[in-house]
Structure 1
């Protein structure tokens, strides 16, 4: 619970900084929304990728002519499917707080990288017989590293792609190899 409050404090302070920065910057801070498709997996031999959804809000804060920082608050539906029984799914739902540093290669095209702090809100295994909570089997926090790119077709509307590689073991009391999340995201973004 402390990590969730810490993450929310980081997000709120980033958005507060964005509002202060907007008052003093030549380039205004832009706020927006984004959503799209997650294709997620875990690095386990018995699992394969599953589709999910992500969506949320962001603030794009210019810090130099070609650089900006973009903190985000996202809902992230992640997890994996069982290779043998495709109806058996691990659903890991997170509130994620990515903080991306973006470099504008062109005015419309950017590359980005940065950490993602994710806090579990639901951890379930679902199958034909229903669902079972597996909160005690998985940790409530996940740290990842995101790399991505985006292209704004118009000044306010763009397409985005990002891969987030998990850096921490998400399994509780895991004596074997670390179990890590991995997610590829593709979606759209709209700046207000």
Structure 2
């Protein structure tokens, strides 16, 4: 128990004595997304947001973010109608736009390489879905980045939602064939590739 207290004291003291800095910034880029357990294509769109980078040590920083992202899925196969004898089938491009609030943990190593990981809470802004299962999504982000300069960083992230967001009963084919199959649990899956620019902050 004493060893744990000593280790905790050393860590806290190190953070207090470190030169903590804060830098606000902007991030933007391309967003590729789809729904899990569907036969569909990735939708290509964009994201844009703001962040505040709190540098606690040379290696670790905490980065709160707020980001607007256009997500969804292209060419998802659905039933449009049933005429009594045959299904009337079609493909649709589905879109859900989110305002995301994230808390990203950043670990910076030699030569400017970064590991980024953290949770995000996404709030639906708008969509073109006929039926939606949830207005809120809880997701986790895992990414790699490279600091090109003190202010400019290239980012590549993977984002996986945990909440069933698509009411698949209204889009599935009822077992018509494998090409038009949707499972009951459809979560957001996304990739973000872009740049982050931070402005000089005060210590």
Q: TM-score range by the shorter chain?
A: 0.7 to 0.9
Segments of structure 1 that go 5 or more residues without pairing to the other structure are: 1-23, 126-133
- Indicate the structure (1 or 2) with the bigger Cα radius of gyration: 2
* Gap change, CA 1:45 and 1:87, over 3 Å in 2: closer
* Structure 2 Cα separation of the partners of residues 147 and 91 of structure 1: 23
Unmatched runs of 5 consecutive residues or more in structure 2: 1-16, 78-88, 170-182
Are residues 1:37 and 2:41 paired? no
Q: What is the DSSP-based 3-state SS (H/G/I as helix, E as strand, rest coil) of the residue aligned with 2:21?
A: coil
Sort the Cα spacing of 1:42 and 1:166 in 2 relative to 1 into closer, same or farther, 3 A.
same
For residue 172 of structure 1, report the CA deviation from its aligned partner: 5.1
2:188 to 177, 181, 187: 181
Instruction: Encode CA deviations 1:18-46: one digit per residue, 9 max, x unaligned.
Output: xxxxxx96131111000000010001323
Residue in 2 aligned with 1:161? Answer: 156
Instruction: Pick the aligned partner of 2:108 from 91, 104, 109.
Output: 104
User: What root-mean-square deviation, in Å, do the aligned CA atoms of Structure 1 and Structure 2 show?
Assistant: 2.3
Q: CA deviation at 1:65?
A: 2.7
Q: Is 2:35 the partner of 1:28?
A: no
Asked whether the equivalents of residues 98 and 114 of structure 1 are also in contact (C-alpha less than 8 Å), the reply is yes
Alpha carbons 1:93, 1:122 under 8 Å: kept: yes
Find the counterpart in structure 2 of residue 118 from structure 1: 122
Q: Distance in 2 between matches of 1:58 and 1:150?
A: 15
In structure 2, distance between residues paired with 1:34 and 1:45: 30
SS in 1 for 2:58: coil
How far apart are residue 112 of structure 1 and its match? 1.0
Shift of residue 177, structure 1, vs aligned partner: 2.9
1:89-118, Cα deviation, whole Å (9 max, x unpaired): 111000011211111122522101110110
Q: For 2:57, which of 54, 58, 64 is the aligned residue?
A: 64
TM-score by length of 2: 0.72
Q: Which has the higher contact order (CA 8 A, sep 6+)?
A: 2
* Contact 1:123–1:138 (CA under 8 A) maintained in structure 2: no
Q: Which residue of 1 aligns with 2:71?
A: 78
Relative to the length of structure 1, the TM-score reads 0.75
